[in-house]
Amino acid sequence: MKFKQILTVFLVMAAPLVAAPKNALFIFADDLGYTDLGCFGSSFYETPNLDALCADAMKLTNAYAACPVCSPTRSSVLTGQYPARTRNTDYFGAYNPKPGSAIPKHLKNRPVSAAPYVERLPAELTTLPEALKEHGYATFFAGKWHLGPKGSWPTDHGFDINKGGWTRGGPYGGKKYFSPYGNPVLEDGPDGEHLPDRLAQETNKFINATGDKPFFAMLSFYSVHTPLIGRKDLVEKYKKKAEKLAYSKEETWGFDTPRKVRLKQDHAVYGAMVEAMDEAVGKVIDNLKKSGKYEDTVIIFYSDNGGLSTSEGWPTSNLPLRAGKGWLYEGGIREPAMIRIPGVTKAGSSLETPITSTDIFPTILESCGLPLQPKVHVDGVSLLKTLKAEKERALYWHYPHWGNQGGSPGGAVRLGDYKYIRYYTGKPAELFNLKEDPSEKNNLIDKQPEMAKKLSGMFDAWLKETDAVMPIKNPDYDGKLKKW
């Protein structure tokens, strides 16, 4: 997006802010793909509540997760720092090389071993809720946490109340997405109660109890992470929709080395999960309106990584974006996102300027009229500043791990329309012009060597500045496995 276009976006925003909204609601989806909402292009999943919110907000068309998997992105939201800097570079619970630890069998014959990483949110870092508590905010968390063992749960990092956030990255206990939950920090509801709805209920209960006190609520859905389980009524609805589509095997599946990839959205259970999450969002938005707090609340919706299209049930497609969760291609890191700042954002507007998940921290502070803390959220830029930017800003990724979904260790940088991907395995680097080639099909590395050199140099400098931990060369690699 050119500078004049950015200025134009700023000028078409609503009338100047009279008084900053005092509350903030951050809604975080898990594994939701870029095109999994109707307002972002899905014609299969039905998301009327998020579509309505998007129509009343600013749509963020180039919003990125700081990592193609969950825990690192969650860390980036709460700290305003890149995972490379905090060393939270993989999902917590993944293989973590340590002295004396055995390399898993499936990773033994790889060109490099995964880099070690920190499996908890660093206690010494100031988090977003801690920054807000300094200004008298009541803080609340509901849903998926996945940022460390006991001692590093939400209430250890600035949240007054925690409903459901603990060590595990999915609803794996009890009846999983239905009560009894088997969750140590979420009381069981009536038998068969649905988790997304319960999280919405808890969020509404908190909002209604705050009175006139400013609040920050983080509604962090487990949806639509595996296990793939949906409400029976919605599953039946989407089975009928899928039957009418009747895609052939050739239409449904493609291949991106080393994995097959889903090309069509027609998974009935996943559709049920998406719609149930949307219903829960609708209940929270309706409650804000009924309580009179809607026009006094900043609302941000985001997802933590791309949709699951290359493994673990292959439930969705991210087309036209390439690949999905666990990959550095756009399908793994570009997210459906929107923001509504009363008195600032214009209903139905959109922003093409690239932003990333580290920006949420400063954006909430500034939107609520609070001072920024640049020494804390060192990698985040407030969206209000992005709108007035006079210089293109680079975004970076560092994922030195073998993803469960087929992605390989690597990193990337985006500057303007160009994106450079470097693999840590020996696989050749790639360069794409995302404006002309959003599906990343045309590698320009040999056609535009000067741009590749520029971005490669920027990436090297960033790795050094963040003191990024790199994978280790595997001395037992026999050279036979492709370096994908």
Q: Which H helix or E strand runs over 349?
A: strand 349-351
What are residue 334's phi and psi, to 5 degrees?
-90, 135
- Check: CB of residue 468 under 8 Å from CB of residue 66: no
> pLDDT 10s per residue in the chain (484 long)?
444 344 334 434 444 445 788 999 999 999 999 999 999 999 999 999 999 999 999 999 999 999 999 999 999 999 999 999 999 999 999 999 987 778 888 888 899 999 999 999 999 999 999 999 999 999 999 999 999 999 999 999 999 999 999 999 999 999 999 999 999 999 999 999 999 999 999 999 999 999 999 999 999 999 999 999 999 999 999 999 999 999 999 999 999 999 999 999 999 999 999 999 999 999 999 999 999 999 999 999 999 999 999 999 999 999 999 999 999 999 999 999 999 999 999 999 999 999 999 999 999 999 999 999 999 999 999 999 877 766 789 999 999 999 999 999 999 999 999 999 999 999 999 999 999 999 999 999 999 999 999 999 999 999 999 999 999 888 888 887 776 7
| Nearest residue to 83 (alpha-carbon basis) of 68, 99, 62 | 68
What single-letter DSSP state applies at residue 126?
Answer: P
The fold of the 23-393 domain, in CATH, is: Alkaline Phosphatase, subunit A (3.40.720)
Distance CA 463, CA 221 (A): 32
Write out the E strands in 155-264.
Answer: 161-163, 215-220, 253-256, 259-262
Which pLDDT does position 18 carry in this prediction?
A: 53
Q: Kindly tell me the sign of the dihedral angle through the C-alpha atoms of 25, 29, 35, 41.
A: negative
> Other C-beta atoms within 10 Å of 222: how many?
30
pLDDT at 390: 64
Find how far residue 21's CA is from the centre of its chain. Answer: 24
Instruction: State residue 178 phi and psi, 5-degree precision.
Output: -130, 150
